[in-house]
């Protein structure tokens, strides 16, 4: 948890950002923290994870809290229940809700059920109620019932300041509030960057452990277990479900049943969440035998230089979409050198040929969520008024297209994949025209995929790779360190 002043300042900034709405018409902003989520029966819950926006403004990392910020008066109140003797028996003594509120600079506190009463009273007065799209089903249903709207409207975002706010027909999550929150959380404060650096250091240690475990005969699942143990012992846990597979061409591959086999590639995309819930997200791809074949190295070096190119281009004023396109161009030039594609590079970029090999975007925002704030709407987070989402494969999946600003934290994660079903589909449909050398691609059907990912902070005049040390990344660094680690183990 940060100092009290951090939370006070954030809520004051939010009030200022919402003050474009005429006074008296602003209404209230309501924030629902998460409740416990049972794995199977009540009492056997998943490990509690607070809603990230609730953490950002209200800091309290416990279930069943809510808060109201009155956008007209500036009044604020925290809602939660003090423990009773039953709770003390099972959970031990807990600080009072009032003291938790005081810790974040809020002088008003009340019982959790009073939140519902306050919202219903505001509804009865016809006040506008701004809320964010809920990320969890519990809060979706709670808000739907409190506001008298269908559950699906709780996750829809539309402007409400025009007056159709809470109490009627068209109520949805508030676009004004979403935009204000996104504009704040997108630009990381120094205290947040410190936490992301910590998460990156844990991520570094996780990946180091995993790389050491990458040796023929080992089960992928063993590597996952040892790697996740690192972040469980040093941080909160993983920042997303680990991706670790020799079938790296499946972008989000969560099955870990295979045995490490010489000659294959192992793709590891994994990150840590710090104890304050900030994320890291790194990807490395290793030769299972410790040495790349020439064919693997040719592709690896293209991805590695694409990752370096994105880092070099990342600076304030440039859009991440431009950098994605520069990376797409670089990948196509590299593949052209290997005669897997042919023709004018600009025409290939325009035709979206890179999507056959990199069907995802170059990166996403990262912070309290590994895909930061995507519960608030991917386009609100990653796209600005001057950006439109493309319909092309690859570019269309770009989660962050915005013009970069100092304080943005983005991932730099280019990849090249050979996805047999996708190649077959494009070939059958004639997508990519003559640009794609389908007969040469037949030699790559069992290649797999390569992705390399670092986390970048945009600075005043460029970018910094987050974390105090960078995981080995060039093909020669990888081969050297794997050879050294094989000797010492």
Q: Which residues bind ligand GLY (CB under 6 A)?
A: 240, 269, 281, 364
Which of 406, 389, 373 has its CA nearest to residue 324?
A: 389
281 binds Mn ion (CB under 5 A): yes
153 binds Mn ion (CB under 5 A): no
How far apart are CB 202 and Mn ion at their closest, in Å? 16
38 neighbors 50 (Cβ within 8 angstroms): no
User: What is each CA distance from 90 to 87, 116, 232, in whole angstroms?
Assistant: 5, 27, 24
Cβ-based nearer residue to ligand GLY, 138 or 240: 240
**Partner residues linked to 54 by β-bridges:** none
User: What is each CA distance from 39 to 36, 47, 49, 304, in whole angstroms?
Assistant: 10, 9, 13, 40
Q: How far apart are CA 259 and CA 271, in angstroms?
A: 22
From the list 411, 418, 444, 471, which residue makes contact with Mn ion (rule: CB under 5 A)? Answer: 411
Cβ-based nearer residue to ligand GLY, 153 or 274: 274
Cβ-based nearer residue to Mn ion, 128 or 411: 411
Cβ-based nearer residue to ligand GLY, 177 or 279: 279
Using the contact rule CB under 5 A, the part of the chain among 5-13, 174-182, 191-199, 281-289 near Mn ion is 281-289
Cβ-based nearer residue to ligand GLY, 10 or 364: 364
Using the contact rule CB under 5 A, the part of the chain among 116-124, 233-241, 280-288, 432-440 near Mn ion is 280-288
123 neighbors 129 (Cβ within 8 angstroms): yes
**CB under 5 to 8 A by kind: which of ligand GLY, Mn ion, none does 176 bind?**
none
**CB under 5 to 8 A by kind: which of Mn ion, ligand GLY, none does 240 bind?**
ligand GLY
How far apart are CB 194 and Mn ion at their closest, in Å? 21
Q: How far apart are CA 270 and CA 283, in angstroms?
A: 6
Cβ-based nearer residue to ligand GLY, 215 or 360: 360
How far apart are CB 345 and ligand GLY at their closest, in Å? 27
**Partner residues linked to 130 by β-bridges:** 29
Instruction: Please state the φ and ψ torsions of residue 482, each to the nearest 5 degrees.
Output: -65, -40
How far apart are CB 385 and Mn ion at their closest, in Å? 25
Instruction: Please state the φ and ψ torsions of residue 279, each to the nearest 5 degrees.
Output: -105, 155
CB atoms within 10 A of CB 259: 14
Cβ-based nearer residue to ligand GLY, 269 or 378: 269
How far apart are CB 239 and ligand GLY at their closest, in Å? 8
Cβ-based nearer residue to Mn ion, 174 or 411: 411
Residue 173: both structure tokens together: 């999550």
Q: How far apart are CA 448 and CA 199, in angstroms?
A: 29
Which of 451, 457, 182 has its CA nearest to residue 314?
A: 457
253 binds Mn ion (CB under 5 A): no
**CB under 5 to 8 A by kind: which of Mn ion, ligand GLY, none does 48 bind?**
none
**Kind of pairing, strands 173-174 and 157-158?**
parallel
How far apart are CB 363 and Mn ion at their closest, in Å? 7
How far apart are CB 284 and ligand GLY at their closest, in Å? 12
How far apart are CB 463 and Mn ion at their closest, in Å? 16
User: What is each CA distance from 381 to 18, 317, 352, 373, 403, in whole angstroms?
Assistant: 18, 17, 24, 7, 12
Q: How far apart are CA 74 and CA 81, in angstroms?
A: 23
Q: Give me the residues that bind Mn ion (CB under 5 A), please.
A: 281, 411
């Amino acid at each position: 948890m940060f100092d009290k002043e951090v939370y006070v300042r954030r809520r004051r900034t939010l009030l200022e950002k919402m003050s474009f709405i005429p006074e008296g018409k602003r209404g209230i902003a309501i924030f629902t923290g998460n409740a416990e989520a049972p794995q199977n029966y009540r009492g056997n819950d998943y490990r509690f994870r607070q809603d990230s926006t609730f953490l950002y403004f209200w800091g309290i990392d416990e279930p069943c809290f809510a808060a109201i910020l009155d956008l007209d008066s500036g009044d604020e109140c925290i809602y939660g229940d003090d423990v009773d003797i039953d709770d003390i028996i099972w959970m031990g003594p807990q600080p009072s809700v009032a003291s938790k509120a005081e810790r974040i600079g809020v002088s008003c506190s009340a019982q959790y059920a009073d939140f519902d009463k306050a919202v219903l009273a505001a509804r009865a007065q016809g006040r506008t109620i701004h809320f964010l799209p809920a990320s969890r089903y519990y809060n979706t249903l709670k808000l739907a019932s409190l506001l008298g709207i269908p559950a699906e409207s709780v996750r829809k975002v539309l402007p409400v300041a025009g007056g159709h706010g809470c109490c009627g027909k068209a109520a949805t999550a508030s676009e004004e509030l979403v935009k204000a929150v996104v504009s704040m959380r997108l630009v990381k404060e120094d205290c947040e960057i410190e936490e992301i650096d910590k998460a990156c250091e844990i991520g570094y240690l996780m990946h180091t452990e995993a790389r050491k475990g990458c040796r023929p005969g080992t089960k992928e699942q063993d590597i996952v277990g040892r790697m996740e143990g690192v972040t469980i012992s040093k941080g909160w846990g993983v920042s997303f479900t680990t991706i670790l597979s020799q079938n790296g061409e499946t972008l989000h591959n969560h099955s870990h049943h295979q045995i490490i086999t010489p000659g294959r590639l192992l793709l590891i995309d994994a990150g840590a969440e710090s104890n304050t819930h900030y994320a890291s997200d790194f990807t490395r791809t290793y030769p299972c035998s410790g040495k790349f074949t020439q064919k693997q190295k040719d592709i690896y070096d293209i991805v590695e230089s694409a990752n370096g190119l994105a880092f070099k281009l990342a600076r304030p004023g440039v859009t991440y979409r431009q950098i994605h396109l520069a990376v797409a161009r670089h990948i196509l030039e590299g593949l052209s050198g290997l005669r897997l594609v042919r023709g004018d590079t600009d025409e290939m970029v325009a035709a979206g040929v890179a999507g056959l090999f990199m069907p995802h975007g170059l990166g996403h925002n990262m912070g309290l969520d590994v895909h930061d704030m995507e519960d608030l709407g991917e386009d609100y987070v990653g796209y600005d008024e001057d950006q439109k989402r493309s319909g092309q494969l690859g570019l269309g999946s770009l989660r962050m297209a915005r013009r970069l600003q100092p304080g943005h934290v983005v991932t730099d994660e280019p990849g090249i994949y050979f996805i047999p079903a996708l190649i077959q589909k494009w070939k059958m449909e004639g997508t990519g025209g003559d640009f794609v050398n389908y007969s040469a691609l037949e030699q790559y059907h069992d290649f797999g995929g390569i992705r390399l990912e670092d986390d970048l902070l945009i600075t005043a005049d460029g970018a910094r790779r987050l974390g105090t040390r960078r995981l080995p990344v060039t093909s020669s660094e990888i081969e050297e360190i794997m050879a050294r680690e094989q000797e010492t183990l």
